[in-house]
């Protein structure tokens, strides 16, 4: 932890870069991800010392708050129905987008919770597998396996093949 609180410029930068991915991450457990992220940010500002890894700390706090919200309301849904019951899509379609946002949202919602959590944290949160391992209280290799398994399942559900990687030994 740094010896003093979070500077306004750093908070602004954190919000610009991580607010959306954090809300997406919280959406896996909560119907009010905006509230969960806001509460986590307020908790961060109340810290007497800034955590060393602020982004990892935010993901951990958002995760814990989202799970607490879901438990306290008694409306935690199984992963198969969570995505279909959400009012907002996980993906926002853009002009010229090759991926069908609705189909991708449904496919992501059908993943087991552990895989969905890792895929979202990696792709949208930009967390490393070591950070995801700490967040999910697993090993880095388990985080990687869940990520790979989630991507395979998404590709199958969306009918998208994996781009072939060029073999550097033959090229």
Q: Is the pLDDT of residue 78 over 50?
A: no
What's the rounded mean pLDDT across residues 136-157?
Answer: 93
Report helix angle 8-26 to 33-45, nearest 10.
Answer: 150
- pLDDT of 20 strictly over 50: yes
Mean pLDDT along residues 118-124? 90
Distances 49 to 21, 32, 45, 71, 104 between C-alpha atoms, Å: 24, 28, 9, 29, 40
> What pLDDT digit, counting tens, does each position of 59-72 carry?
999 999 998 888 87
- CATH 1.10.10.10 domain position(s) in the chain: 78-160
Higher pLDDT, 169 or 152: 152
pLDDT in tens, 79-112: 444 544 455 555 555 555 566 677 778 888 889 9
- Which part of the chain has CATH 1.10.1740? 1-76
Rounded Cα distance between 110 and 82, Å, is 8
111: left (phi over 0), alpha (psi -120 to 50) or beta: beta
**What's the Cα-to-Cα distance from 83 to each of 47, 113, 124, 144, rounded to whole Å?**
33, 11, 17, 23
Q: What is the CATH number of domain 78-160?
A: 1.10.10.10
**% of the chain surpassing 90 pLDDT:** 43
Is 44:61 a contact under the CB 8 Å cutoff? yes
Q: Report DSSP state, residue 90.
A: S
- Specify the pLDDT at position 116: 92
pLDDT (0 to 100) of residue 163: 58
Reply yes or no on whether the pLDDT at 171 is more than 50: no
Over the chain, what is the mean pLDDT? 80
- Is residue 75 within 8 A of residue 31, CB to CB? The reply is yes
pTM of the model: 0.57
Give the mean model confidence (pLDDT) for residues 11-16: 89
Assign a CATH topology to domain 1-76: Rna Polymerase Sigma Factor; Chain: A (1.10.1740)
- Lowest mean per-residue pLDDT among 28-37, 42-51, 94-103, 111-120: 94-103
């Amino acid at each position: 932890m740094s010896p003093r609180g979070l500077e306004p410029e750093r908070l602004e930068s954190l919000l610009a870069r991580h607010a959306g991915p954090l809300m997406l991450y919280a959406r896996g457990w909560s119907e009010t991800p905006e509230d969960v992220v806001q509460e986590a940010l307020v908790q961060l500002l109340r810290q007497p010392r800034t955590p060393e890894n602020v982004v990892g700390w935010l993901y951990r706090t958002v995760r814990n708050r989202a799970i607490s919200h879901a438990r306290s309301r008694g409306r935690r849904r199984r992963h198969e129905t969570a995505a279909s019951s959400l009012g907002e899509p996980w993906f926002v379609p853009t002009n010229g987008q090759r991926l069908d946002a609705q189909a991708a949202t449904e496919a992501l919602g059908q993943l087991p919770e552990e895989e969905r959590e890792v895929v979202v944290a990696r792709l949208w949160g930009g967390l490393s597998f070591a950070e995801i391992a700490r967040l999910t209280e697993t090993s880095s290799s388990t985080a990687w396996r869940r990520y790979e398994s989630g991507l395979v399942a998404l590709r199958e559900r969306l009918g998208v093949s994996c781009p072939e990687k060029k073999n550097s030994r033959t090229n």
